[in-house]
Structure 1
Amino acid sequence: MTTKQSAPPADLIRIHHLNKVYRMGGETLNALDNVSLTVREGDFVAIVGPSGSGKSTLMNVIGCLDTASSGEYWLDGEEISRLRENKLAEIRNRKIGFIFQGFNLLTKLTAIENVELPLVYRGVPAKQRRQQAIEALGKVGLAERIHHRPVELSGGQQQRVAIARALAGNPPILLADEPTGALDTKTGIEVMGFIRELNSLGHTIVLITHDPDISRQAKRIVRIQDGRLHEEEARAE
């Protein structure tokens, strides 16, 4: 009797020969130089590089915050390289959960109201979005703090609210930009523990960082230097 094999993970991100060119005065800057990258469902990829390497430009393209000058970008089966801004905004809201270094929480809103915000923009009914926000805050261990405002939370708790906000709409990709950059070492370790746990639960994560110690916690490390990518050997589980 033959054993039925499970299907291989789907490609959530496929980038082919991507270039991003800036022209300043008489000079041309190749911020991304012939970049190709594939991220599969369940991956945890760290993109690491120093300031000026092109990693922020690549993050903006992956996050649909900017478009490339040439090349192809497929996100969850959809070719988005040439889409207009209004369509890109819609895709950002549905397909990508952002985790920012500075948390980007609204100070006048409670934790649960902050987590609900992307769902409000998506048009999710009030009862449903409240339930999704409660579940997301529960995942990051803040079920007892849902009515606290950011000023009443520690830095680590604020970042966990930001992670819950990214999770609430169940997007295919979590995009984390220097998620521990505003935290002390101990709190940063705790937050990275949550991010690794989310990956173990099946969430696909792309992490942008300048810190080699942070990048080593991912399953794959992709280095960027002068706009070019170089992937390291995948680490053992």
Structure 2
Amino acid sequence: MGTPIIQIRNLMKTYKLGGETVRALNDVSIEIDKGEFLAIIGPSGSGKSTLMNMIGCLDLPESGTYLLDGKDIGKMNDNQLAVIRNQKIGFIFQNFNLLTKLSALENVELPLLYAGIPAKERREKSLESLEKVGLRERAGHLPTQLSGGQQQRVAIARALAGNPSILLADEPTGALDSKTSQEILYLIQELNELGHTIILITHDLTIAQQAKRMVSIQDGQLQENGGELIGNMAIY
């Protein structure tokens, strides 16, 4: 701990909406250390999805700087950003985003296929990832043959397959019941203990409190430790 993996300074992002200019991110600055488990909490429209897209190298800021492992993301072209996403960041989405015609193993293999990893190594790494999430024995099953919780575990295994330093989890329990949500959160905590940096995006205070550090975002502005903002966000 103590070594920043992410350094964001004075990030700005605006959108045009119905003739108005909306500041999705308004002078956002944050440092995230290697091995941290951080929750970013905010209501719908607060800017948290925009911030997630920035951190995940899916979008670039209008101004400000974003250093990932010391590299300036704002100066990269699309190909360089794609390489960074593939090597450094594992994405976990609310709706799993699994391909229904592919088995659990084939879904996990996909990012490795895009990275050009040979078939034998790809298979080994993917089975290892499924083992980490407790689903190796379901490798041959299609998503439709798995429960919601198992599908999210496959999605987590896919995020882990390339051994990224950062796991970016966007409402990872949003489509799950409370018992399954808790199981997925325990798994995410275990992955953090194994050394992965976890950034959890959520609107739910109960979920955010599972993290070791929490920041809140509202109207595109970030506030450390939640502050008063969280008091206004506890009910949805």
Matching residue within 191, 202, 209 for 1:209: 202
Give the aligned partner of residue 159 of structure 2.
166
Q: Quick check: 1:189 aligned with 2:189?
A: no
Question: Per the alignment, in what secondary structure is the counterpart of residue 131 of structure 2?
Answer: helix
| Per-residue Cα deviation, 1:156-206 (whole angstroms, up to 9, x for no partner) | 000000000000100110000000000011110110010011111111100
Distance in 1 (CA, whole Å) between partners of 2:137 and 2:75 is 44
Distance in 2 (CA, whole Å) between partners of 1:121 and 1:172 is 18
Q: Quick check: 1:131 aligned with 2:124?
A: yes
Distance in 1 (CA, whole Å) between partners of 2:136 and 2:2 is 32
Q: Quick check: 1:34 aligned with 2:37?
A: no
- Counterpart AA for 1:36: S
- Counterpart AA for 1:82: K
Distance in 2 (CA, whole Å) between partners of 1:67 and 1:139 is 33
Matching residue within 144, 148, 173 for 1:180: 173
TM-score by length of 1: 0.93
Distance in 1 (CA, whole Å) between partners of 2:82 and 2:103 is 25
- Counterpart AA for 2:124: Q
- Aligned residues of 1:67 and 1:82 also touching (Cα < 8 A): no
Distance in 2 (CA, whole Å) between partners of 1:95 and 1:103 is 19
- Counterpart AA for 2:60: T
| Per-residue Cα deviation, 1:111-164 (whole angstroms, up to 9, x for no partner) | 110000000000111111111001000000001111111001000000000000
- Counterpart AA for 1:172: S
Q: Count the aligned residue pairs.
A: 226
Give the aligned partner of residue 17 of structure 1.
10
Displaced runs of 4 or more, over 6 A: none
Task: Spell out the pairing of 1:85-164 with structure 2 (5 A cutoff).
Answer: 85-164=78-157
Question: Per the alignment, in what secondary structure is the counterpart of residue 74 of structure 2?
Answer: coil
Give the aligned partner of residue 44 of structure 2.
51
Kindly state the Cα deviation for residue 91 of structure 1 after the two structures are TM-superposed.
Answer: 1.1
Distance in 2 (CA, whole Å) between partners of 1:193 and 1:172 is 19
Distance in 1 (CA, whole Å) between partners of 2:201 and 2:75 is 24
TM-score by length of 2: 0.93
Question: Per the alignment, in what secondary structure is the counterpart of residue 148 of structure 1?
Answer: coil
Kindly state the Cα deviation for residue 29 of structure 1 after the two structures are TM-superposed.
Answer: 1.1
| Per-residue Cα deviation, 1:66-103 (whole angstroms, up to 9, x for no partner) | 11110000112211113222221121111100000000
Unaligned ranges ≥5, structure 2: 227-236
Kindly state the Cα deviation for residue 10 of structure 1 after the two structures are TM-superposed.
Answer: 2.2
- Aligned residues of 1:136 and 1:168 also touching (Cα < 8 A): yes
Greater mean deviation of Cα atoms: 86-95 or 18-27:
18-27
Greater mean deviation of Cα atoms: 15-24 or 36-45:
15-24
Give the aligned partner of residue 225 of structure 2.
232
Q: Quick check: 1:78 aligned with 2:67?
A: no
Kindly state the Cα deviation for residue 25 of structure 1 after the two structures are TM-superposed.
Answer: 5.2
Distance in 1 (CA, whole Å) between partners of 2:97 and 2:69 is 26
Distance in 2 (CA, whole Å) between partners of 1:206 and 1:223 is 13
